[in-house]
Structure 1
Amino acid sequence: MTDTPELLVEADGEPATADALGAVLTGYGHFTAMQVRDGRVRGLRFHLARLDGATRELFGTALDGARVRAAVTHALSSSGRTDASVRVHVYQPDDGGGAPVTLVVSVRPPGHAPAGPMRVKSVPYQRPAAHLKHLGGFGQGYHLRRVAAEGFGEALLTGPGGEIAEGAVTNIGFVAGSTVVWPTAPHLRGVTLQVLEELLDAAGVPQIRRPLRLADVPGYDGAFLANSRGTSPISLIDDVPFPADAELLAKISELYASAPWDTI
């Protein structure tokens, strides 16, 4: 038996109350999601930069990284977990009248990348303000449920002309020989994507960014998904199969496994 809660939620370092969570009902805010292991996280500086940048854009004020780290550390301590899935949500308690932002930290059991290659189905949808990890993910959730009912593990969001943007909860990359190809349609630059970009550069693996369309998919040698849970090769996009054992896919997995963990 254990008294470790399945879910712990704190608002500004205190147990979350209805009053503290009132701003959640507006649906206006942003967040970051991270996997914590032994009190550490990959790409911490990217998480902090994301939170600060989005807070400036949405609420017109900065968000000190030290405050975020203290809030996450406190929530982890309160939860009794050192390995966890953590989300940091940022809200403003009123209608934008200059009130300080509220940090809501949730702690759940740790998550892991899928055990095998992913089957992906494309859908005609793009997130508004896609550069932000904002609230209001109805569209993503709607499409995820629909493709899951058809036996797919992720929805691939596409724009006009079938231009590929991102997964519903992932970034997507393609393999062309020894090169990684990233899409240029509006998307969220995920923390795992940013970590991978640095690792690939350090390893001398070429990366290019260009428009990618569904019609181009059969011409690639492989594809993969990336989010806070790690990287996963893709075995199928719609009806186009991909080899999950391409050499560069294995290299990407190895590089991410070698990424350093930062103490929160």
Structure 2
Amino acid sequence: MTIYAAQLDGREASATELAPLAFAGYAHFTAAQVRGGRVRGLDLHLDRLRTASVRLFGKALPDERVREFLRAAIEAGPADVSLTATMYSRSGEFTAAGGAAEPAVLVRTGPPSSGPEGPLALSTVAFERVLPEVKHVGEVAKTYFLREAVAGGFDDAAFVDREGRLSEATIWNLAFWDGEAVVWPEAAVLTGTTMGIVGRRLAELGIPQRTREIRPADLHSLSGAVVMNSWTPGVPVRRIGAVDIPAAPFFVELLHRAHEAEPLRSV
């Protein structure tokens, strides 16, 4: 048993099969933290893969087949891992063909992660992702802007769209606290699975949630900020651009409590 697995359609992938994928960029994926062989928000992950496959490839695999592939990779390693399931076209890139075959599924596992501790300082960058609603691969801008931010004395970068609104961060969703409610940025963003988990559990807890446009000039009126992704439901943010963000331990604890209320489920 190894902590690293790379399986193609439910079986160990060979080097020959993986080689063409080294520079492939027409694919989409979902990422999850597996704990005790189980995951949170399985329905959200399956919905993401299904919807994105239809968008990119014109067809999707049945959920049960995808679950079989996920199970095979989870069973090949220890109980706690990071898991990434990537779907790609067997027809490859830079071709109009691609509607005939079902997408292939590459599932990889690695060491578990809970993300950075924070608090983080985020630079602001004018940038909009292509097809922001799809968690697709080949996004060089994310790593580029992360490294630019670190070189400039920040920890990471947040994106500002053409309308001047904060949208998301490099590999994160943004969430804010206004003292009464959780505030989600109104912009074209990828709705993260952790964002979906937290959102539905906050609703059950009776915590108000709002979606509104947030520009850098609005940050002074907010009482807290976090980034979240599959690693964690909330890493505190202490600064965005030139604006200091107040510490909000209650907000961070609330997001973690909402996330933990989502049960871990067997794949």
- TM normalised by structure 2 equals 0.92
- Equivalent in the alignment of 1:241: 244
- Equivalent in the alignment of 2:261: 258
2: CA distance, partners of 1:10 / 1:249: 36
In the alignment, structure 2 segments of 5+ residues that lack a partner are 92-96
Superposition map of 1:59-70 within 5 A: 59-70=57-68
CA contact (8 A) 1:8 1:107 kept: yes
2: CA distance, partners of 1:160 / 1:97: 33
What is the identity, as a one-letter code, of the residue corresponding to 1:248? F
In the alignment, structure 1 segments of 5+ residues that lack a partner are none
Q: 1:173 is matched with which residue: 168, 172, 175?
A: 175
Superposition map of 1:81-160 within 5 A: 81-94=78-91, 95-160=97-162
CA contact (8 A) 2:126 2:160 kept: yes
Aligned residues with identical type, % of pairs: 35
CA contact (8 A) 2:83 2:107 kept: yes
CA contact (8 A) 2:60 2:103 kept: no
- Equivalent in the alignment of 1:47: 45
2: CA distance, partners of 1:120 / 1:100: 40
Give SS of 1:113's match.
coil
1: CA distance, partners of 2:28 / 2:240: 29
Superposition map of 1:69-84 within 5 A: 69-78=67-76, 80-84=77-81
- Cα RMSD (Å) of the superposition? 1.7
Deviations 1:220-249 (A, max 9, x none): 111111110111111111222222235333
Equivalent pairs counted in the alignment come to 260
What is the identity, as a one-letter code, of the residue corresponding to 1:28? Y
- TM normalised by structure 1 equals 0.93
What is the identity, as a one-letter code, of the residue corresponding to 1:15? E
What is the identity, as a one-letter code, of the residue corresponding to 2:262? A
CA contact (8 A) 2:219 2:245 kept: no
- Equivalent in the alignment of 2:94: none
Deviations 1:195-218 (A, max 9, x none): 111011111111111111111111
- Equivalent in the alignment of 1:36: 34
2: CA distance, partners of 1:173 / 1:121: 16
Q: Which runs of at least 4 in structure 1 moved beyond 4 Å after TM superposition?
A: none
2: CA distance, partners of 1:96 / 1:23: 16
